[in-house]
Amino acid sequence: QTETLAAIRNLPAQTTDGRHVTLAANIEFPDEIPSVLEHGADGVGLYRTEYFYMNRKDLPVEDEQFEAYKNLATTFGDKPVIVRTLDLGGDKFISQFNLPKEMSPFMGWRAIRFCLGRPDIFKTQLRAILRASVFGNLKIMFPMISGVEELRRAKEMVEEAKKELKGRGIAYNAGIEIGAMIEVPSAALTSDVLAREVGFFSIGTNDLIQYALAVDRTNEKIAYLYEPTHPAVLRLVKNVVEAGHRANIWVGMCGEMSSEPSLAILLLGLGLDEFSMPSASLLEIKNVIRAISYETAKKIAEEALGLATGQEVNTFLTSRLKDLL
């Protein structure tokens, strides 16, 4: 039996047999905070920080970023706020960088690659996050990690940023948790190795799907090939969740795939621990999770993993959702 959405706002995201998952919000702008609170989120699972750098000629200085992160940290208190470091490039262009034109921007100098090449910009952001970390429960997440060396280098930069703050006598949370987005197939396939380096994973399916299926996420002409339910995508997701759990870290998802009710059953069944999505979808997903048992979801996921095409998976999951609600 389903409950009305408003009625479950303050109820836990828990299956009928007691498995609890975290439902968090994706945000891009600070003015989205009221909506996050209104929809009863357990925190922020993805804070896209690109907006700081958009529509302006200068770079945001440390203090400006610090104030914004501090505001988030204070607002959410004990609840986690995962700050994703600058994910520039790909479909996120920012004029003031005057970046060289690239033939394949999605496979080019973007996200963590750009940040590692511009330590001045990267460390300014890291120091701002670290300073704000004493005001709440902030975590740092790196986008577009494709291998363990990149991840280690990014972590070193965090350590350097900590040293710089220490030198200035400024407080920070020395134990701030660090996570990696898993959105490149090479990362998904080596997630056992990556898991030893971080406190959590968050699967970025918007990118993972495009890279796994070789389908540009912005190209309308081939949008029909962009299938979240493609067996290759499901296997990658399963691999990441299992590798994370073997290493005792939690695994979330902040790509759009996590906000689709029929897919939520599958993801729940695969063992996903955290679902992060636009606030407006949170209650709908909570409703699904509260309507099913973890045991049933696991069986459904297993059956879905045995199907041959994205279309078959889709049809199967849609009909399971219909049975449920």
Q: Are 141 and 179 in contact (CB under 8 A)?
A: yes
131 annotated ligand binder: no
Kindly tell me which residue out of 65, 205, 262, 279 binds ligand PEP, with binding defined by CB under 6 A. 205
Q: Are 228 and 257 in contact (CB under 8 A)?
A: yes
Q: Spell out the alpha helix ranges (H) of 214-260.
A: 231-246
Question: Judged by CB under 6 A, does residue 273 bind ligand PEP?
Answer: no
Question: Judged by CB under 6 A, does residue 48 bind ligand PEP?
Answer: yes
206 annotated ligand binder: yes
Task: Answer positive or negative: Cα dihedral of 297, 300, 304, 310.
Answer: negative
The total number of residues written for the chain in this structure: 325
Find how far residue 23's CA is from the centre of its chain.
12
Burial of 319 (0-12, 13-18, 19+ CB in 10 A): exposed
User: Where do we find the tokens 């997630």?
Assistant: 191
Question: Judged by CB under 6 A, does residue 113 bind ligand PEP?
Answer: no
Rounded Cα–Cα distance for residues 1 and 11 (Å)? 15
Question: Judged by CB under 5 A, does residue 207 bind Mg ion?
Answer: yes
Question: Judged by CB under 5 A, does residue 136 bind Mg ion?
Answer: no
Closest-approach residue to Mg ion (CB): 207
Interacting residues of 73 by C-beta distance below 8 A, sequence separation 6+ = 81, 132, 133, 135, 136, 137, 138
Out of 44, 195, 233, 254, the active site residue is: 254
115 in active site: no
The piece of 2-10, 200-208, 286-294, 299-307 that touches ligand PEP (CB under 6 A) is 200-208
Q: Which is nearer to Mg ion, 183 or 273 (CB)?
A: 183
Find how far residue 90's CA is from the centre of its chain.
17
Interface with Mg ion: number of residues (CB under 5 A): 3
Q: List, in sequence order, every residue forming a beta bridge with 14; answer none if it has no partner.
A: 20
Burial of 119 (0-12, 13-18, 19+ CB in 10 A): middle
Give pairs for 102-110: CB < 8 Å, separation 24+.
106/207, 106/210, 106/211, 106/216, 106/217, 110/144
Rounded Cα–Cα distance for residues 43 and 64 (Å)? 22
Minimum CB separation of residue 222 from Mg ion in Å reads: 18
Q: Are 85 and 141 in contact (CB under 8 A)?
A: yes
Question: Judged by CB under 5 A, does residue 204 bind Mg ion?
Answer: yes
Q: Which is nearer to ligand PEP, 157 or 254 (CB)?
A: 254
Q: Which of ligand PEP, Mg ion, none does residue 113 bind (CB under 5 to 8 Å by kind)?
A: none
Q: Which of Mg ion, ligand PEP, none does residue 254 bind (CB under 5 to 8 Å by kind)?
A: ligand PEP
Q: Which of ligand PEP, Mg ion, none does residue 216 bind (CB under 5 to 8 Å by kind)?
A: none
120 annotated ligand binder: no
183 annotated ligand binder: yes
Minimum CB separation of residue 172 from ligand PEP in Å reads: 26
Q: Which is nearer to ligand PEP, 26 or 262 (CB)?
A: 26
Residue 30 DSSP class: G
Q: Which is nearer to Mg ion, 181 or 321 (CB)?
A: 181
Minimum CB separation of residue 180 from ligand PEP in Å reads: 12
Annotated binding site for phosphoenolpyruvate: 48, 84, 206-207, 217
Active site residues: 254
Q: Interface residues with ligand PEP (CB under 6 A)?
A: 46, 48, 87, 183, 204-207, 254-255
Annotated binding site for Mg(2+): 183, 207
Q: Interface residues with Mg ion (CB under 5 A)?
A: 183, 204, 207
